[in-house]
């Protein structure tokens, strides 16, 4: 009998480093120097004699110019931070030493429909820009004796006997590879390569989300402010539409991001940005009164995407895809980087279990599906409810009614709030919220919350 998704997720969330006695691979190549790619390289360093990370941007400082969303808020959730700490012990303390901002539960605020949620003990965050996080990871990765970073542009794969054997580069050269990891992000070209080379390209699922972002930076007047991280979300029927996320980050700055949907586009106009901030909960409005740094950065994501490698019947051996190259979610949920860290855990378990790395990575895809399903279902369910024009089927309505009970209770009940955040922070599987004890406590908390008639 196969293990449940919750059990697999719990296993993948382990923070213990595996013992790998022998390196079974000669050469491994990772395409992309993102969080997903760098952590994949760290895992492969245990299993391969030589690991090359191919990144087109010469990004010693972590500023990958090929990532247009790098200026927006990126959350490193507790589940993701635990996995990074697993592979690079001491990462958190070193990041803080270089300027990242650590916030405890009392320095973190979560607002839902203009109501500040109860404080939960697990709301402990490491806050920094995406470029900062990647720069710290890159520094740790460079220190691995059998890993090197190569500035180049990959143009395709080479094959032999039904498996990958190398990576072609734009300069006409090629790298030998017994194992290749695609970490080329949301715009990964791997599907095109596979189709061109006679393999099966994965089905691409898209869900329209039409999300708009605008992010501005401000000087932080307090080194340790009372609140170092905050988020403000609204349920689909709420009368306000501008949501927000706030992080204290490196270089003594605030990063404040606004988010809207659909035709309510955000511009780079400072007056508009500040006007919207004035209608947000107090912590956001206060930060917007600080001294601005630079310009307002905007970004739009039309859809969430998922490439279904798990459904492809014919893939070459020795090839996997990780991070945004597999699934990219609505960024408001902050799951991207943390989901990528769990993909590294999938890769580690797959290689440690003695699977033939030259065969199609079926077992890896099964593990990865558990992680992607968890993040995808959590993020797309809210978007689906917001975008629906008709009446959904009864099972969907019942499921939503139950999860909405939990979400509402998480605002006022510490126990439910902690369990909900464990799921949102990618510490535990979403199915844990369906436990009868959780649902009953949620209903009871919401009944107590309602004013007497």
pLDDT of 233-289, one tens digit each?
998 888 999 999 999 999 999 999 999 998 999 999 999 999 999 999 999 999 999
pLDDT for residue 381:
76
DSSP SS3 for 388: coil
pLDDT for residue 399:
85
Tell me: the pLDDT tens digits for 325-357? 999 988 778 888 999 999 999 999 999 998 899
- Joined together, the tokens standing for residue 289 give 């009164």
| Angstrom distance (rounded) from CA 453 to CA 440 | 22
pLDDT for residue 62:
47
Tell me: the pLDDT tens digits for 144-200? 999 999 999 999 999 999 999 999 999 889 999 999 999 999 999 999 999 999 999
Region label for 92, one of left (φ > 0), alpha (ψ between -120 and 50) or beta (otherwise): alpha
Nearest alpha-carbon partner for 146 in 268, 219, 43: 43
434 pLDDT more than 60: yes
DSSP SS3 for 125: strand
Domain positions in the chain: 5-99+127-206+305-381, 208-302, 390-449
pLDDT for residue 389:
58
Angle 180-186-187 (CA atoms, 0-180°, nearest 5)? 80
Percent of the chain with pLDDT over 90: 81
| Angstrom distance (rounded) from CA 453 to CA 450 | 9
DSSP SS3 for 80: helix
Please state the separation of Cα 214 from the chain's center in Å.
Answer: 19
Q: If pLDDT is split at 50, 70 and 90, which confidence band does 65 have? A: low
pLDDT for residue 61:
52
Mean pLDDT computed over 10-21: 94
- Joined together, the tokens standing for residue 262 give 């659909």
pLDDT for residue 405:
95
CATH of range 208-302; options 3.10.180, 3.30.70, 3.90.550, 3.30.450? 3.30.70
Q: Give, in order, the Cα–Cα distances in Å from 89 to each of 25, 82, 85, 132.
A: 24, 10, 5, 17
pLDDT for residue 394:
83
| Angstrom distance (rounded) from CA 428 to CA 206 | 25
Catalogue the E-assigned strands of 80-127: 101-103, 108-112, 115-116, 125-127
| Angstrom distance (rounded) from CA 53 to CA 436 | 46
pLDDT for residue 59:
59
**CB-side exposure of 271: number of CA atoms within 13 Å?**
0
| Angstrom distance (rounded) from CA 412 to CA 174 | 58
Percent of the chain with pLDDT over 70: 94
Handedness of CA 201, 202, 208, 213 (dihedral sign): negative
Q: What is the distance in angstroms between the CA of the first residue and the CA of the last residue of the chain?
A: 51
**β-pair partners for 322:** none
pLDDT for residue 379:
82
Q: What is the mean pLDDT of the chain?
A: 92
Q: If pLDDT is split at 50, 70 and 90, which confidence band does 1 have? A: very low
Question: DSSP class of residue 235?
Answer: -
Question: DSSP class of residue 199?
Answer: S
Percent helix, strand and coil across the chain, each to the nearest 5: 40, 25, 35
CATH number assigned to the domain covering 5-99+127-206+305-381: 3.50.50.60
| Angstrom distance (rounded) from CA 411 to CA 114 | 11
Q: If pLDDT is split at 50, 70 and 90, which confidence band does 63 have? A: low
Mean pLDDT computed over 89-118: 96
Tell me: the pLDDT tens digits for 349-378? 999 998 899 999 999 999 999 999 999 888
Nearest alpha-carbon partner for 178 in 28, 14, 18: 28
Q: What is the maximal distance between C-alpha atoms in the chain? A: 76
pLDDT for residue 202:
97
64 pLDDT more than 50: no
């Amino acid at each position: 009998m196969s293990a449940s998704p919750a059990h697999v997720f719990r296993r993948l969330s382990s923070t213990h480093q595996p013992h790998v006695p022998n390196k079974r691979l000669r050469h491994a190549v990772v395409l992309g120097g993102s969080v997903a790619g760098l952590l994949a390289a760290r895992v492969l360093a245990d299993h391969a004699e030589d690991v090359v990370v191919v990144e087109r941007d010469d990004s010693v400082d972590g500023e990958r110019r090929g990532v247009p969303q790098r200026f927006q808020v990126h959350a490193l959730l507790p589940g993701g931070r635990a996995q990074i700490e697993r592979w690079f012990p001491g990462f958190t303390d070193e990041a803080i030493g270089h300027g990242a901002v650590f916030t405890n539960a009392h320095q973190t605020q979560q607002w839902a429909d203009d109501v500040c949620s109860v404080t939960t003990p697990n709301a402990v965050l490491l806050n920094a820009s995406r470029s900062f996080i990647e720069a710290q990871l890159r520094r740790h990765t460079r220190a691995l004796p059998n890993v090197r970073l190569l500035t180049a542009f990959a143009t395709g794969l080479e094959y032999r006997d039904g498996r990958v054997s190398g990576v072609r580069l734009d300069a006409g050269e090629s790298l030998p590879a017994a194992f290749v990891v695609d970490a080329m992000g949301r715009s990964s070209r791997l599907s095109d390569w596979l189709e061109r080379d006679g393999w099966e390209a994965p089905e691409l699922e898209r869900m329209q989300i039409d999300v708009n972002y605008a992010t501005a930076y401000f000087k932080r007047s307090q080194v340790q402010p009372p609140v170092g991280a905050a988020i403000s979300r609204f349920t689909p029927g709420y009368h306000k539409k501008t949501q927000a996320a706030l992080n204290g980050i490196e270089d003594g700055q605030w990063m404040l991001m606004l988010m809207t949907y659909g035709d309510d586009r955000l511009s780079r106009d400072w007056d508009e940005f500040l006007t919207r901030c004035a209608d947000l909960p107090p912590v956001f409005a206060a930060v917007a009164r600080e001294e601005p740094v630079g310009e307002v950065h905007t970004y739009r994501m039309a859809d969430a995407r998922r490439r279904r490698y798990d459904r492809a019947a014919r893939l070459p051996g020795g090839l996997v895809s990780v991070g945004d190259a597999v699934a990219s979610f609505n960024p408001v949920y902050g799951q991207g980087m943390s989901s990528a860290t769990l993909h590294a855990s999938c890769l580690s378990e797959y290689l440690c279990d003695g699977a033939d790395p030259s065969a199609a990575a079926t077992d890896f895809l099964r593990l990865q599906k558990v992680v992607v399903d968890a993040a995808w279902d959590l993020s797309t369910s809210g978007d689906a409810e917001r975008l629906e024009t008709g009446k959904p089927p009864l099972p969907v309505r019942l499921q939503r009614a139950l999860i909405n009970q939990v979400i509402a209770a998480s605002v006022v009940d510490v126990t439910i709030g902690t369990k909900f955040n464990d799921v949102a922070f990618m510490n535990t599987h979403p199915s844990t919220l369906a436990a009868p004890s959780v649902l009953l406590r949620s209903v009871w908390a919401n009944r107590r919350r309602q004013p007497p008639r």
